[in-house]
Structure 1
Amino acid sequence: MTRTGPDGARTTAEAPAARASRVILALACAAQFMVVLDVSVVNVALPSIQASLGFAATDLPWVAGAYTLAFAGFLLLGGRLADLYGTRRVLVAGLALFTVPSLIGGLATTPALLIAARAAQGVGAAVLAPATLTVLTTTFPEGPRRTRALAVWTAVSLAGGAAGNLVGGVLTQSLSWRWILLINVPIGAAALALTGRLPAARRRTGRAARLDLPGAATATAGLALLAYGIMQAGPRGWDDPVTAAALAAAALLLAAFALIETRLARDPLIPPRLFRIRAVSAGNAVMLLAGACFQVPMWYFLTLYMQDVLHYTALETGLGFLPHTLLTMIVGLRATPRLMRRVDDRALVIAGALVAAAGFLWQSRITADGGYLSAVLGPAVLMSVGGGLLNTPLTATVTSGVTERDAGAASGLMNTAKQVGGALGLAALTAAVADHAPTPPSLADAYGDAFLIMAVMLLAIAAASLALPPRRDPAAADTPR
């Protein structure tokens, strides 16, 4: 039992529980870092991969796309698995599904094998990512301890996206592109060793729950086809028959999924009762919009600007993202949790969106002859501070008010909103700026337009965040530790 002495200090009886909580947090963050890192780590390594394995130019995007496609498609299923079969069991399965394909991909000798390994990684990531959040929301009760845990998890997630370019550049230039995948093997093995410290799944009472296989099939196929159609819209165009057929099939499958979840399934992947929680429904709508700016598009267009316009090498591009990584960690780990103890979460989300919007507006003014300080570092400060202020309170909001039996479903829904938002945002932005000449001035103008659109979207996020519920008692998070 937790006790405190006269001076408010915790007694030694609490120490084992505190150590166990720290181990669980370390495990969740290590696993989440791998998942997010592998979204962007291949970007700067693509030329090396193409030369090494003899990829055709038309097939090369699938090195990144196979991972994203499988990840987005299986997220809802992955989130529900933890509710039905226990977080520890699902974490072990997800780590294995992610780590083994990383080893196979790192040793691949053909393009087909590498693409297959990346797709298998995506399936593992879809199982793993919701489980890392679920283990935190079921370990730490709502309040200051959960706020601190979510702040660390969110900061690691954001830093993983920024660090992917840095890690990819360093490993590719100093060792080999293969190490962008092989680096996951020791991390995954260490995380697997830590899973033994997780509590065993509690025995269910009442009737046994069943996996919603029709819902899983329609959701997975629908989201996979949606992601595929969006990816094809860039090179083929929105009116291409392949793109149109994929999107039409996705719409039909997702409509069928909604019918199954609301009318037919006994244990649905996404219980309709979740959407009656205002924090979940409104929060995931905001998360979808935030993903369309922060999840993929920001890193994608910044990478292109530094390499195509400023002519940075892979290593220089990776190092160029170092301020984003450091600022995100500092704001997310130090400033935001303290602010959340004094300021309403909704106000922080709105403030973060407005600060980030100013950063994206500044970033939209890039030119072909811009210097690093004014064209990258200056906007990075505002974008990273805004993202750091926004993401942790938003994550806390969308996971609040959810019972333990639905924690995995809520985590899967949040991750799905973020990933689908990133895919939709990237497709829409690339289509919006596709008409440009391949010259540095024209490219700078096109990428600037993309950042301007993202600035407008962040203003929309600030407005949409007014629909988020206020925290019941902002001062309650400032209780003694």
Structure 2
Amino acid sequence: MTTDTSSPSRYSGRQRLILLVLLGASFLFAADYSILNVALPEVGAGVGLGLKTMPWIVSAYTLPAAGFMLMFGRLADLFGRRKVFLAGMVLLTAASLLGGFASNPGMLLTARALQGTSTAMAVPAGLSLITTTFAEGPRRDRALGLNGAILSGGFTAGALLGGALVSLLSWRAAFFINVPGAVAILVVTPLLLAESKVPERVKLDLAGAVTVTVGLLAVVYAIIERNIVSAVVGALLLAAFWLIEVRSPAPLAPVRFLKRPTVKWGNYAGIVIFSMETGMIYLMTLYLQNVLHFSPVVTGLVFGVPGLAAVAAGPVAGRIMGRFGSREVLTVALTLQALMVLPLVFLGSSRLALAILIPALFLGFFVHVTCIVAYTVVGTSGLPNEEQGLATGLTSMTHQVALTIGAPVMVSIAATQSNQLTGTHLALGVNVAVTLASVLLIWFGLRPRGRQHGTAAVVPGSQGAAEELSPSLD
């Protein structure tokens, strides 16, 4: 593992092309996640899915995307990052064609499940290709900042493009549009990226891979369906996974890795960042349509315009990380994310509330993306290249699981009140309290740890942190 001390503003021509390809893949997967949300009624009607089963168009994607992330991230380390990345792009192409030609619910849901699996393969592999192409330091921070901006841009573009495609063509175009981009990436990637080095003797921890994957699938299913039995099964399997990793001679996720403060607290931050923001957005969507009685189109614009701030935040976050340190940026940005939710606790039933809501969303989306970049930097810093696939698999899994948790938790809290507006206020208040309490935990969890015998402490994620921190983190 090396640290980049050269100019943060200079990439070589080849590095620029590599970054363009990997960011293009990030954009494609972000857009793929959101593009179908707008078209759900048309898609369901097109293949004969009823209202009760329609949510499975989303769930069929979410389950494998979250459940397989960690395993495929580690497989990228063990068998080659480029190989797993390309396999994910091939699967995305095939799944998109299957979805575009789907004529019944079985074909459609199979296509969505395969799209989720392709995400679990390509996203952590692509992210680890970024973190191994750009050494830890300013260049990597800037690359991850650009990746954060692209993810936000892709998500926003997918939502907007989905509506346009459905209106002008049909819901099938929301699947077919993935194919040209995926094929282009498949052609260009082998010309730019060499295969990563893999261990001479590859040993796959099969027991660990099975227990963590099935355990995560059970937990995510429990969240989606609010199924207690599935939650218990998932918890038991994840506990079994921990015991297996403690005893395995070649663990899928070494316990020393999982215990590192940067890994542990970085991913905890990711859970808070995504679940609280997703929950807030869902509550505000209901508020705009059920309380203020705006149409879905206007609701989309209310979120879409402030979404432009999110795109601008990525490059800014990457630059300030090197100047102030990822611990400081993460905790300050997460504090600001909470403070941007606080005014929403006091929104009333008048449409004048937009004067508060839109500026709060604008600033909130900006700091939210800053949080995303910072937690990704923290969760992947101080680690050798041979563990970057595992690290990015874990951060990507955190992202997917947290997206699944946010809305159900906030809605459950709001549902304790008989009045929707009162319930929304209560849930948003809990959102703010949980986020601010988590800031304190993360700040102390990531406190600088120096070498033993009195050497200077170094902040996790800053230049030189990996070398200074490794004795105390292992």
CA-CA distance at 1:127 after TM superposition: 0.6
User: 5 Å matches for 1:275-424?
Assistant: 275-294=258-277, 296-333=278-315, 335-371=316-352, 373-374=354-355, 376-424=357-405
Distance 1:273 1:297, change over 3 A: same
Quote the Cα distance in structure 2 between the aligned partners of 1:287 and 1:9: 25
| Alignment-derived partner of residue 59 in structure 1 | 53
Distance 1:274 1:473, change over 3 A: closer
Percent of aligned positions with the same letter in both sequences?
35
CA-CA distance at 1:93 after TM superposition: 0.2
1:406 partner amino acid: E
Q: 1:231 aligns with which of 214, 218, 224?
A: 224
CA-CA distance at 1:401 after TM superposition: 0.7
CA-CA distance at 1:244 after TM superposition: 1.7
How many correspondences in the alignment? 448
- Whether 2:449 is the aligned partner of 1:462: answer no
Asked if the contact 1:38/1:164 (under 8 Å) is kept, the reply is: yes
Distance 1:60 1:38, change over 3 A: same
Distance 1:247 1:68, change over 3 A: same
Quote the Cα distance in structure 2 between the aligned partners of 1:179 and 1:100: 14
CA-CA distance at 1:181 after TM superposition: 2.2
- Whether 2:233 is the aligned partner of 1:256: answer no
SS of structure 2 residue aligned to 1:460: helix
2:341 partner amino acid: F
CA-CA distance at 1:66 after TM superposition: 0.8
User: Which range moved further: 270-279 or 136-145?
Assistant: 270-279
Quote the Cα distance in structure 1 between the aligned partners of 2:284 and 2:168: 22
Deviations 1:66-124 (A, max 9, x none): 10111111111110111011111111101111221122112212122111110111111
Quote the Cα distance in structure 1 between the aligned partners of 2:275 and 2:228: 21
| Alignment-derived partner of residue 239 in structure 1 | none
Quote the Cα distance in structure 1 between the aligned partners of 2:342 and 2:385: 41
User: 5 Å matches for 1:209-228?
Assistant: 209-228=202-221
SS of structure 2 residue aligned to 1:417: helix
SS of structure 2 residue aligned to 1:267: coil
Q: 2:408 aligns with which of 427, 437, 450?
A: 427
Deviations 1:212-247 (A, max 9, x none): 2221111111111111111112xxxxxxxxx12111
Asked if the contact 2:99/2:107 (under 8 Å) is kept, the reply is: yes
User: Which range moved further: 190-199 or 345-354?
Assistant: 190-199
Quote the Cα distance in structure 2 between the aligned partners of 1:307 and 1:145: 43
CA-CA distance at 1:407 after TM superposition: 0.7
Asked if the contact 2:100/2:173 (under 8 Å) is kept, the reply is: yes
2:437 partner amino acid: A
Q: 2:138 aligns with which of 141, 144, 157?
A: 144
Asked if the contact 2:279/2:409 (under 8 Å) is kept, the reply is: no
CA-CA distance at 1:276 after TM superposition: 4.1
SS of structure 1 residue aligned to 2:409: helix
Asked if the contact 1:307/1:317 (under 8 Å) is kept, the reply is: yes
CA-CA distance at 1:269 after TM superposition: 2.0
Distance 1:33 1:307, change over 3 A: farther
Asked if the contact 1:353/1:386 (under 8 Å) is kept, the reply is: yes
Unmatched runs of 5 consecutive residues or more in structure 1: 1-7, 234-242
User: Which range moved further: 223-232 or 179-188?
Assistant: 179-188
Asked if the contact 1:219/1:253 (under 8 Å) is kept, the reply is: yes
CA-CA distance at 1:284 after TM superposition: 1.5
Quote the Cα distance in structure 2 between the aligned partners of 1:297 and 1:197: 42
Quote the Cα distance in structure 2 between the aligned partners of 1:191 and 1:314: 34
Distance 1:9 1:64, change over 3 A: closer
Distance 1:20 1:188, change over 3 A: same
User: Which range moved further: 360-369 or 73-82?
Assistant: 360-369
Distance 1:324 1:183, change over 3 A: farther
Distance 1:474 1:343, change over 3 A: farther
Asked if the contact 2:271/2:402 (under 8 Å) is kept, the reply is: yes
SS of structure 1 residue aligned to 2:351: coil
Deviations 1:285-341 (A, max 9, x none): 2222222123x43443343334444444444433332233210111221x2233223
| Alignment-derived partner of residue 46 in structure 1 | 40
Distance 1:468 1:364, change over 3 A: same
SS of structure 1 residue aligned to 2:346: coil
Unmatched runs of 5 consecutive residues or more in structure 2: 1-6, 449-457, 465-474
2:154 partner amino acid: G
Asked if the contact 1:219/1:254 (under 8 Å) is kept, the reply is: yes
Quote the Cα distance in structure 2 between the aligned partners of 1:423 and 1:186: 29
Quote the Cα distance in structure 2 between the aligned partners of 1:156 and 1:92: 20
User: 5 Å matches for 1:181-220?
Assistant: 181-204=175-198, 207-220=200-213
Asked if the contact 2:80/2:197 (under 8 Å) is kept, the reply is: no
Quote the Cα distance in structure 2 between the aligned partners of 1:117 and 1:101: 5
SS of structure 1 residue aligned to 2:225: helix
Asked if the contact 1:91/1:195 (under 8 Å) is kept, the reply is: no
- Whether 2:21 is the aligned partner of 1:27: answer yes
| Alignment-derived partner of residue 270 in structure 1 | 253
CA-CA distance at 1:35 after TM superposition: 2.4
2:318 partner amino acid: P
Deviations 1:29-84 (A, max 9, x none): 22222323333333222222233333211100000011011111111111011101
